[in-house]
Amino acid sequence: MLVNVGAYVLASIWSRQDVEERSQAAAFVGVKEPGPAPIPAILSVPEIDRLIHLYVPPEEADRIRAELLDGAQPGPLDLPELLEMRIRLERVLAASLGAAAARFIIEDRFTISRGEAQQLVDSFHEMQRSLRTSERLLASVVESVDDFIFTTAVDGRLITVNPAGRQLLGLPPSGGLALTYLDLLAEPDRGRVGPAIARAVAAGRAWRGSVIALTDARTPFPAHLAVSCVFDAKRNVLGAVGVLRDLTEQVATQQRLIQRERLASLGEMAAGVAHEIRNPLGGIKMATRLLAAGGYDGDRIPVEMAQSIVAGIVEIERIIADLLEYARDTRLDLGEYPLDRVLAPVIDAVQAPDERRVRIEAHGLDAGIMAMVDGPRLRQVFTNVLKNAVEASESVMNPRVDVRLGLRNDAAVVEIVDNGPGMTAEQRSKVFRPFFTTKSTGTGLGMPIVKKIMDLHGGEIEIDSTPGRGTAVRLIIPRLASPAPAAAGTGGGS
């Protein structure tokens, strides 16, 4: 190796002396010396490969070539690639030959002409211009948006704030910031959100969520806050960038839509109640007029009229009871119940009246499935769904309803399948709408009540129905206490 280096140095010195002598002779006789062909600064991959094998021991050459060229194909390198290759090759040669010899070889072989140097300077200036343009564009975007955009240090101190943020905080257009991101939040959210953001930034993670923020007048407003970390080249957290978006208009619009939906729902409810009550009231009115007219020879007609009045009153009471059940706030009384003991009495009660000709088959009642539920409320759910299935299948030949109790992951599933006429897609989409019914009788509040109670339990309802092929209703009930709210109003059936 030392012999190779010495030979290379002597050859370089000798060639330089020859060049100087030829130049002096040419100047003396007045002939322009063309000079030696310049070594190209833009080396090809084969040339670099030759240099490696010339100065590096053979047992290391192939490994170093693979590491240095990284699978590059023969061909010229552009100027940025050449500069990068110069640094990498010098590092490789220094490991084998020493730093001084490696520097000598690199400076001799990787020369850059004036034109190439100018090209490099022009490229650098072009990169600077492009970078300044991108910076101006980014600054323009940040300054023009209405969202509050800020950057913070790792400890949460605000470093920069865009104009929209300064206006929101009532700060002057320029000047120092003696605030942290916690100063942007209302007092309740400081304790709730602050530690979560600090943990996320410390772990290098992003955080986003809904918060209550404060204006410069300390007026709270709804907002969405997103915070993301800023890293250096070694993935160390330098700080964070955050965006605070004012949701006042969106929340107001959402509340108006909710209010409009409530009014529309109230109108539908009023129309449904009026329609349901009008029928029994009509019978009561007619029976009362007949009784008032008098002139009966026997006691049979007055008794029938009285029975009609009582039946009408019972029907009105039932409608009012269903309406109150649907509209009032409901609180669950949770306890650990065996679901088979909740479901079995419902099957017996629905099948008993008038010895219905519908055959009800029960499956899985011996599984011993326990769940944390409100037993009486869940019994009402089973009753409403099972009655619907039985009444739907009564209109077909060989009516049948299958009831299955089973498990799906960590939830209990009660499936009630009938072979009735089924429902269309439009009917299925309206099944939980108050006062919607496909039956000639009924208030249309049974399934909305089912939906409300299932929501309170944190459960789900799946309905599969095909016209002419029956309907399957699956009630998915969490076996553990659900984090669903303990009370609900009329929104449960919307």
Tally the C-alpha atoms within 13 A of residue 473's C-alpha that lie toward its C-beta. Answer: 26
67, burial (CB in 10 Å: exposed 0-12, middle 13-18, buried 19+): exposed
% of the chain at pLDDT higher than 70: 76
Phi, psi for residue 329 in degrees, rounded to 5: -65, 135
Residue 461 banded pLDDT, cuts 50, 70, 90: very high
pLDDT of 41 strictly over 50: no
β-bridge pairing 370-373 and 400-408? unpaired
Q: Which residues contact 115 (CB under 8 A, 6 or more apart)?
A: none
pLDDT at position 413 is 93
**Phi-psi label, residue 213: left if phi above 0, alpha if psi -120 to 50, beta otherwise:** beta
pLDDT of 252 strictly over 80: yes
Q: Which has the closest alpha carbon to 477: 357, 377, 350?
A: 377
Q: Which has the closest alpha carbon to 182: 167, 197, 165, 199?
A: 197
pLDDT of 487 strictly over 50: no
pLDDT of 14 strictly over 60: no
pLDDT at position 104 is 78
Give the pLDDT mean for 304-329.
Answer: 75
Residue of 239 and 261 predicted with greater confidence = 239
Distances (CA, A) of 54 to 9, 58, 61, 129, 170: 13, 9, 9, 42, 70
Q: Which residues contact 56 (CB under 8 A, 6 or more apart)?
A: 64, 92, 93, 96, 97
97-101, 280-284, 488-492: lowest mean pLDDT where? 488-492
pLDDT at position 36 is 41
461 DSSP assignment:
E
Give the pLDDT mean for 226-249.
Answer: 89
Give the pLDDT mean for 194-200.
Answer: 87
pLDDT at position 299 is 62
pLDDT at position 3 is 41
What domains can you pick out in the chain, each with its CATH number? 2-118 (no CATH), 145-246 (3.30.450.20), 254-327 (1.10.287.130), 335-493 (3.30.565.10)
Q: What is the pTM of this model?
A: 0.44
Copy the structure tokens of residue 392.
């739907």
400-414, 451-465, 472-486: lowest mean pLDDT where? 472-486
Token look-up 């211009």 returns: 129
pLDDT at position 74 is 52
% of the chain at pLDDT higher than 90: 10
66-80, 229-243, 421-435: lowest mean pLDDT where? 66-80
| 100, β-bridge pairs | none
Q: What is the mean pLDDT of the chain?
A: 76
Residue of 307 and 82 predicted with greater confidence = 307
pLDDT at position 26 is 40
pLDDT of 431 strictly over 90: no
pLDDT of 42 strictly over 70: no
Give the pLDDT mean for 38-67.
Answer: 68
Residue of 484 and 418 predicted with greater confidence = 418
Residue of 131 and 142 predicted with greater confidence = 131
6-20, 226-240, 478-492: lowest mean pLDDT where? 6-20
Q: Which has the closest alpha carbon to 493: 443, 440, 453, 442?
A: 453
Cβ atoms of 97 and 3 within 8 Å: the answer is: no
Residue of 464 and 263 predicted with greater confidence = 464
pLDDT of 468 strictly over 70: yes
Q: Which of 167-181, 328-342, 349-363, 373-387 has the highest mean pLDDT?
A: 373-387
Write out the DSSP string of 140-191. Answer: HHHHHSSSEEEEE-TT-BEEEE-HHHHHHHT--SSS----BGGGGB-HHHHH
pLDDT of 34 strictly over 50: no
Q: Which residues contact 437 (CB under 8 A, 6 or more apart)?
A: 443, 444
Residue 40 banded pLDDT, cuts 50, 70, 90: very low
pLDDT of 307 strictly over 90: no
CA distance 271 to 435: 9
Residue 87 banded pLDDT, cuts 50, 70, 90: confident
pLDDT of 369 strictly over 70: yes
Distances (CA, A) of 116 to 108, 110, 129, 158, 218: 16, 12, 20, 45, 61
235-239, 325-329, 351-355: lowest mean pLDDT where? 351-355
pLDDT at position 111 is 63
pLDDT of 359 strictly over 70: yes
Residue 275 banded pLDDT, cuts 50, 70, 90: low
Give the pLDDT mean for 423-439.
Answer: 81
